[in-house]
Amino acid sequence: MAERARQIVEAARELLEKEGADALTMRRIADRLGIRAPSLYKHFPDKQAVELELIAQGLQEQAEALMAATEDEQPLVALGAAYRAYALAHPHLYRLMTAGPLPRHLLPDGLEARAALPLVRIVPDEHRARALWAFAHGMVILELDGRFPPDADLDGAWRVGLAAFAQVAAR
Amino acid sequence: MAERARQIVEAARELLEKEGADALTMRRIADRLGIRAPSLYKHFPDKQAVELELIAQGLQEQAEALMAATEDEQPLVALGAAYRAYALAHPHLYRLMTAGPLPRHLLPDGLEARAALPLVRIVPDEHRARALWAFAHGMVILELDGRFPPDADLDGAWRVGLAAFAQVAAR
DNA sequence: GTCTATATTATGATAGAC
DNA sequence: GTCTATCATAATATAGAC
């Protein structure tokens, strides 16, 4: 990727993280670089291509954070904590990464598999792995969307949920 | 609610269910009733008020479906099945109901509690109830968004996930 | 309670000059 | 690779006549 393209993605990411998806417009991205929106189209074919770079970046980062957690002596607990931490640290990016169909065919080769690897590593059974993923995503997205009561003890819900999946492992 | 207002909500619901959130515009709603968009504002202050009626309708219906499931001899399994069935039968409404912050103060009194009641009834522990809710929502929203591999056995994931929560219940 | 006309505000994207 | 000018599209919502 050329230098200018890199700067565009960087500007897009800052905008998304700081102001959310609504602020992620071609004009705002261009503003940040001191150029005009139409100039962006010399570097990317359309807006979706810029978003795709952000999604790929997020998946890669998340994969690295989760993989580190699998080294923990309580990998399931560490994985849950790492999943939640990444989502809360990058709420808008997390939403972009997880909302709507994944444009699989446009992602770098093997990235989706790499993102799933930490989970597969500590939860080999595919049903259990998918159930655990759903639990983690559900917890995170409900928290980000403010759907839990404001005074809910989410640490407690995470603890109990992860314990449930640990038990299934042991049976 | 006056008759015309009821018709507006009905038209809005049909549009949402059949064509999704993008089709839910004041123009399209008016079209369906053979009137012009500005006329709608004689019956509702703004679009959000119409959407709010749809959300309330969905929460009420869902609560009824889930409450029936709690009578089953395997209430946890039945509850999971009912949750998934409602979401898959009304995917766009489900998304509207669950995306973004719940406008609690605008909902009919007690509706949110009524929606949570079936779950609370069979899962008295609040941590476990929230964890189970997150699992169910995660499973459903990932399925609706097409995030699971196309060939994934989701029945299997549901089975294993629900079994995990059943075990926690029994300990 | 309905209409027409319009305000207001955006967006992504293209054409063509430089 | 950048610019200006513009297209094409669309949305919610209001004013004021009838």
- d(CA B150, CA A131) in angstroms, rounded, equals 16
Spell out which residues of chain A touch residue B130, defining contact as CB-CB under 8 Å. Answer: 148, 152, 154, 157
- d(CA A147, CA A139) in angstroms, rounded, equals 10
Contact (CB<8Å) A145/B98: yes
* Cβ-based neighbour number of residue B87 at 10 Å: 22
Phi, psi of A137 (to 5 degrees): -65, -45
Q: Which amino acid is at A142?
A: L
Per the CB < 8 A criterion, the answer to whether A102 and B147 are in contact is yes
Per the CB < 8 A criterion, the answer to whether B77 and B134 are in contact is no
Those residues with Cβ within 8 angstroms of residue A82's Cβ, 6 or more apart along the chain or in another chain: A65, A66, A68, A69
Stretch 51-90 of chain A: residues touching chain B, C-beta under 8 Å = none
Residue A169 has pLDDT above 80, yes or no: no
Contact (CB<8Å) B165/A163: no
Q: What is the pLDDT of residue A171?
A: 47
Report, as an integer, the average pLDDT of A145-165. 96
CA A8 / C1′ D2 distance in Å: 15
B46 CB contact with strand C at below 7 Å: no
Contact (CB<8Å) A164/B160: no
Residue B168 has pLDDT above 70, yes or no: no
Report, as an integer, the average pLDDT of B69-78. 97
Nearest-nucleotide field for B5 (CA, C1'): C1
Residue A44: DSSP 8-state: -
Q: For chain A, give the mean pLDDT.
A: 96
Q: What is the pLDDT of residue A132?
A: 98
B123 CA: distance to closest CA in chain A (Å): 12
- B103 CB near a chain A CB, below 8 Å? no
A117-133 pLDDT, tens per residue?
999 999 999 999 999 99
Measured CA to CA in angstroms, residue B110 lies from B1, B91, B107, B117, B121 at distances of: 19, 24, 8, 10, 16
B122 CB-contact burial (10 Å; exposed 0-12 / middle 13-18 / buried 19+): middle
A18-35 pLDDT, tens per residue?
999 999 999 999 999 999
B74-125 pLDDT, tens per residue?
999 999 999 999 999 999 999 999 998 899 999 999 999 999 999 999 999 9
Joined tokens for residue A96: 């972009």
Please give the domain boundaries of chain B with CATH numbers for all domains.
1-44 (1.10.10.60), 57-170 (1.10.357.10)
B126 CB-contact burial (10 Å; exposed 0-12 / middle 13-18 / buried 19+): middle
B100 CA: distance to closest CA in chain A (Å): 5
Nearest-nucleotide field for A29 (CA, C1'): C12
Q: What is the pLDDT of residue B169?
A: 54
Strand C bases with any atom < 7 A from protein Cβ: 1-5, 10-16
Spell out which residues of chain A touch residue B138, defining contact as CB-CB under 8 Å. Answer: 133-139, 141
Spell out which residues of chain A touch residue B150, defining contact as CB-CB under 8 Å. Answer: none
- d(CA B99, CA B97) in angstroms, rounded, equals 6
Gyration radius of chain A's alpha carbons: 18
Q: What is the pLDDT of residue A113?
A: 94
3-state SS class at A100: coil
- d(CA B35, CA B28) in angstroms, rounded, equals 10
Give the CA-trace dihedral at B27, B33, B35, B38, to 10 degrees: -50
A76-126 pLDDT, tens per residue?
999 999 999 999 999 999 999 999 889 899 999 999 999 999 999 999 999
- d(CA A86, CA A63) in angstroms, rounded, equals 10
B19-65 pLDDT, tens per residue?
999 999 999 999 999 999 999 999 999 999 999 999 999 999 999 99
Q: What is the pLDDT of residue B91?
A: 98
Contact (CB<8Å) A145/B99: yes
Spell out which residues of chain A touch residue B98, defining contact as CB-CB under 8 Å. Answer: 145, 147
Q: What is the pLDDT of residue B167?
A: 75
B99 CA: distance to closest CA in chain A (Å): 7
Q: What percent of chain B has pLDDT over 90?
A: 94
